Amino acid sequence: MTSATGADADGERRNVSDAAGVAVLGACAVWSLVTAAVHGGRPEGVLLAVLAVAAGYAAGRILGVLLPVAAPAAGALAGLTLSVVRPRLAPGPETVAPLGHAGATAAVLTLSAGAACCAARATPVPALRLGLWLLAGGIAVAGALLGSTTAVVTCGAVLVCSLAAGRLRHRGPALAALGVTAAVVTGLTWAVAGGALSGGLVGPLTDRLTAHRVRLWRDALGMARREAALGVGPGRFGELSGTAAQSTLQSTMSDGKPHSAPLQLAAEQGVVGVLLLAAAFCWVLFALWRAPRPTPVVLTAGAALTALAAVAAIGNALSFTTVSVGAGLLAGLATARPLAEEPAACEVRPESGRDLRHDDRPAA
């Protein structure tokens, strides 16, 4: 049984991470209002995204307490069903792949695979665990059938990371590595936009990303350089981007977004907006580090959310409320404390027979 001291320590850890989350999400909402007031922008999109993440996180915390295995499994099935039945996810112009709705579908499938793997890591029933692993693999196959190469790669990466997490003893270094991975992908996006890569790399990347997307990124970076402090205002990229305007004139479907969350915030909300986005991701990793759940569950969720961050860095996934809710829900499920005590996952070294316990939660 959990001692009173252990329960108090877990409660204090959750209070610290929750307070940090409230501060970060509140700052994101306030800064969008500030930049909108200065430049006359439209902060509704940012406010809706913040609300969606907060609502998803709260729901995940509640469901994770009551149904630590059933809730993520149901979420994985719901995400898979939504992607298959309604792959566009939201009404609006049908932008050409790999822009727009294709990125959102990849994001939902990635979160669904992460939820299935979290459920597999949480259940003590071997047959159910195998079925959940197969569900995660099936989600990757669904991505291939839907024509989303990104979904196949990210879902496969999440599945591999979840399988590997069973042999890791410490969550801190692994979560730090996930943070570095997200930073590298963001830096690569910035380098492509700024033309900082060598000639041998530019061609293949531009072909894969499409020249249209790269031009949108360059427009966003140009706005960020001109208005580094406050940006041009939330929701104003489409008005000021020459590439987006040209797409509209040529009757090419355009949603007026640069298709990169970091570059969009840099253009519309300046340096502070980018720092707040980074702070939000760091808060998620911090909450996972201090979470009371076993390390394999925590690292699986961290891998899925890092894959989502990578998709958002090169696409428009975070512009869809479904994705924001799903991200908050998965983070909440992975940081909840179930009513029933979860045994620490373990692996046995054949040469020694010694258990490797996965319970390196930080002291309060």
pLDDT above 90 as % of the chain: 62
362 belongs to a structural domain:
no
Whether residue 319 is contained in a domain is answered as: yes
Answer yes or no: is 174 within a domain. Answer: yes
Nearest to 252 by CA among 83, 104, 100: 100
Q: Flag whether 348 is in a domain.
A: no
Residues with Cβ < 8 Å from 160, sequence gap 6 or more? Answer: none
| Alpha carbon separation from 206 to 106, 134, 194, 201, 214 (Å, rounded) | 20, 35, 13, 9, 7
Structural domain range at position 159: 4-339
Other beta carbons within 10 Å of 17: 19
Q: What is the pLDDT of residue 241?
A: 81
Tens of pLDDT, residue by residue over 190-244, are 998 888 777 666 777 777 888 888 889 999 999 999 999 999 999 899 888 888 7
List, for the chain, all residue ranges whose pLDDT scores fall below the cut of 70: 1-14, 87-102, 199-201, 247-255, 341-364
* Burial class of 51 by CB neighbour count within 10 A (0 to 12, 13 to 18, 19+): middle
What is residue 250's predicted lDDT score, i.e. its pLDDT? 45
**The total number of structural domains that make up the chain:** 1
Residue 59 lies in a domain: yes
Rounded CA gap, 317 and 308, in Å?
8
Distance CA 155, CA 68 (A): 21
Contacts with 145 (C-beta within 8 Å, 6 or more apart), sequence order: none
Q: With beta carbons less than 8 A apart as the criterion, state whether 330 and 111 touch.
A: yes
Q: Is 346 within the bounds of a domain?
A: no
Is 147 domain-assigned? yes
Would residue 224 count as lying in a domain? yes
